[in-house]
Structure 1
């Protein structure tokens, strides 16, 4: 695995970064023929074979033509697909790899059935990890527990045996912590977001997270990061966008991750650093950290679950409370203008309608300052972008903002009786995540998981977009698949990748899948079609309840990073 080189981070040609060092010669120039399956390619909707030369796709076509390649003796290896499906590898456009790995290797409360179960899991984790200087867990969701409340500090002190414990809520915008963890942050009781007996939010939460991550050993961090990269590869993800920052994971964690990704096989890692800047010199400093952009979790607000997303009208379940606005339009404008002057992609986390409106207003003001064409060329991005209005959707299109979205949020918390409806009321909740409206307006989508908030599960993510709980927001499975493959590459300025056509990077996954179909986002009875006359490459059946494909092999730049023989 080769992380982005300085050239890849800084060179642009009409918004396109230069090729990475891996593509410039990191893989051996072997020629591989894959045959006897189905290749998902717009170059040939009936393709059954593909040739890869080194780190690039060289040819896509039919089985008969594949015989010619094999007979000519120009192939070093032949992969017999045995009917398997080959697709571009997925790109997860929003992840937190260290936190994801900590959940995979340790304390994950996402499956806890209640408060007692959660406390029992904490006790077991503490007993199993006596050498860890700090216990870190994630994923609790008190709204799904019979008790309807998070653990108290006294309960955490007992369960952790008096050790430092940092435990994030599922949305990662608040945290329950032990007394010993608070002791690592002098003066925390005076910070915004600290209330006796309540989970930490805002600045108090950020300070606690910095202390918890700083207390991790290098070995603990490396094990977590490696586990997350391995899981991504195992589910067919060939590229991830790490959303780091001073209040998210810290510079040491970010540097360690990029170094690890550079020295081991695995998915590509594009790093984002969520820190606001006010001049081009600061923007260049962020580039020097190894970041592709000053974006990701640069938070304009918080989350709906923690009631920290910034709303124009109060929460339905907390009258008078409208959440937290961390950046106003002026701060957004200063950041975008500085990044644009430095040729660096900017971006923000924005969920509530007030926060999204502030971002759009700020980007528009920056465009007036530095030029609309320059702003559009850098494809600045907005993470989550859940509470949109027709006006902010139009603003995204006007400013060429990429919407980096997580359909699994709707699958987990949407619907008439879900958490979103409890927080906002059913009427407002129905407006969330309007993917169809975004695509109709020409707004590019890049799909991700926000792991560990929701799992690394690309086909589940595509399904969630195609079967949005609000039917008018659904998109076709093909559109969702494109947003989860090409969309992530386009978000970093690469229009030539995320698709299996000659000349594209050889990043692909091989799947055991059932019959392939063409799905459209409406309620017609004839919703699924296998008519070959359509000339449209099919995808697996993603109907809720259908089995999702199983990843057999993941290849990045021509190198296998997961799996073995097919069949």
Structure 2
């Protein structure tokens, strides 16, 4: 499948997941589109006209996944550098940092003071993923501890939610010179930095990336995504999360290489012209209305259970949301917002409703404006999503990581409020479109794990079927872009798909309240792999994007 404009490829002898034929075992691809789907016997008629016949040997063929929320450069830096995800203790995190600094210095890529050409990340060591809520020390590293482990190098270590970070003295000095770090909201002289101070120190760290380092990180992310059967990524960029240059270089790289499609969002208030100049599909994504629960910066109506004097951080008002949505709607461009806490979501919904009053509800609905994360929703908020045609771009792995009776959500909010988070079933019942993503590097690129997390949500009443979760992670991502023709294997659809080594295919219900597991073909429902927790996940054999193999082989 090298010349996708002319070649005809017959895939047969497998299981093709298609609503066109729940019993399909074969598929024909012509150029960059699906041409036919059907049974093994009927496939014989296509053999003579095929340039290539692929024996699937029982493999499963599905639409490729869409990850609807990623940060490619940050993900690649974690993949290729210091990743503290799952680190068991503060002591171990500091030990890993010390080892990484020694390695980078031995390679000549990190200077003592973190400056100068050729240093790691341009003289800054960037790491990600620490989470003090699971550490026996129950606290983040201090600046003094960071300096001792880093040996005077400039170091930036983002917390797992990427809404706070610890920074060494050398990096703080860079941010002080560039942005007056010590005078910014969220500054702490010794501990984690949040709010504007965090944005400033992150900009200082990322600003020291060389072009080669940025490209290598982005390539690592695209390669990992392709190896996991992901055919498209939504990059959520913005001035507070990356940079215009970072997004432009990512889109250029993706267009020039054989890999997943990348669709960019630019999260800047009033940034319509910038979004268009960069080739972004929307002026949204990580346009922050608030922060994150782990960093206690998600904006709440009532105080945090473990910080009674705090309700988090509000970055935007309902009026600002309304102005942005109205302007984007007038420009015919999709808007979007990062909103996690219930107060932040109230601001978004009030703002979008006001924008609809100004420019018309039908025009607002038609553009499918997005809300990223949308975790703390009550029934009234869910109904407003449906009323306003908003897409919920959500991350089921958040619940897998932080939900449950003893998870971070309960510590931050208490059991009652924690049980309300990530109500996927309620959103689906209300007709709210779901698009699944990872927010990598916050949680890893892991599409089948994401589907499993939604189907086996830690709060049973929020569970959805494996089929619904799979749809949200395939077709849902395309619908969030306004593309209703993709993410499903039917004749005429784009030939973006993956092949999998998988076990028996079953039809799974969300939980024991419904008859759950069935292999009976009389159901007429295409089966999917058994994703029961603890069992193996499917292994990707090949990923194809618009008729071109980008991972593995056919």
In the superposition, the TM-score normalised over structure 2's length comes to 0.95
Q: Which residue among 213, 230, 233 is the counterpart of 1:240?
A: 233
Q: What pairs up with 1:372-387 in 2 under 5 angstroms?
A: 372-387=361-376
2:20 aligned with 1:43? yes
2:547 maps to 558
Secondary structure at 2:27's aligned position in 1? strand
Within 1, Cα distance between the matches of 2:367 and 2:239? 23
**Cα deviation, residue 26, structure 1:** 8.8
1:404 maps to 393
**Cα deviation, residue 320, structure 1:** 2.1
Deviations 1:427-463 (A, max 9, x none): 1000000001000100000000000111100000000
Structure 2 segments unaligned to the other structure (5+ residues): 110-119
Contact 1:553–1:563 (Cα < 8 Å) also in 2: yes
Contact 2:508–2:517 (Cα < 8 Å) also in 1: yes
Contact 2:509–2:515 (Cα < 8 Å) also in 1: no
Q: Which residue among 327, 333, 338 is the counterpart of 1:338?
A: 327
Per the alignment, do residues 354 and 525 of structure 1 end up closer, same or farther by CA in structure 2, a change over 3 Å counting? closer
Contact 2:383–2:430 (Cα < 8 Å) also in 1: yes
2:249 maps to 256
1:441 maps to 430
- List structure 1 segments (4+ residues) > 2 angstroms apart after TM superposition: 25-28
Secondary structure at 2:265's aligned position in 1? strand
Secondary structure at 1:47's aligned position in 2? coil
Q: Which residue among 105, 130, 137 is the counterpart of 2:127?
A: 137
**Cα deviation, residue 370, structure 1:** 0.6
2:30 maps to 53
Q: What pairs up with 1:291-302 in 2 under 5 angstroms?
A: 291-302=280-291
Deviations 1:102-154 (A, max 9, x none): 01000000131111111111112112223111100000000111101111111
Within 2, Cα distance between the matches of 1:372 and 1:248? 31
* More deviation, 256-265/325-334: 256-265
Secondary structure at 1:42's aligned position in 2? coil
Contact 1:42–1:537 (Cα < 8 Å) also in 2: yes
2:314 maps to 325
1:15 maps to none
Structure 1 segments unaligned to the other structure (5+ residues): 1-24
2:51 aligned with 1:76? yes
Within 2, Cα distance between the matches of 1:141 and 1:92? 23
Contact 1:284–1:342 (Cα < 8 Å) also in 2: no
Q: Which residue among 202, 207, 223 is the counterpart of 2:200?
A: 207
1:108 maps to 83
Q: What pairs up with 1:8-407 in 2 under 5 angstroms?
A: 27-70=4-47, 73-130=48-105, 131=109, 132=120, 133-186=123-176, 187-277=180-270, 282-407=271-396
* More deviation, 245-254/83-92: 245-254
Within 2, Cα distance between the matches of 1:398 and 1:127? 55
Deviations 1:66-122 (A, max 9, x none): 11111xx21001110000000000000000010110010000001311111111111
Per the alignment, do residues 433 and 525 of structure 1 end up closer, same or farther by CA in structure 2, a change over 3 Å counting? closer
CA RMSD of aligned residues (A): 1.1
**Cα deviation, residue 160, structure 1:** 1.6
Within 2, Cα distance between the matches of 1:486 and 1:96? 21
Contact 2:225–2:260 (Cα < 8 Å) also in 1: yes
Deviations 1:298-328 (A, max 9, x none): 0100000000000000000001210001111
1:10 maps to none
Within 2, Cα distance between the matches of 1:149 and 1:263? 44
**Cα deviation, residue 289, structure 1:** 1.4
Contact 2:265–2:275 (Cα < 8 Å) also in 1: no
Contact 1:36–1:80 (Cα < 8 Å) also in 2: yes
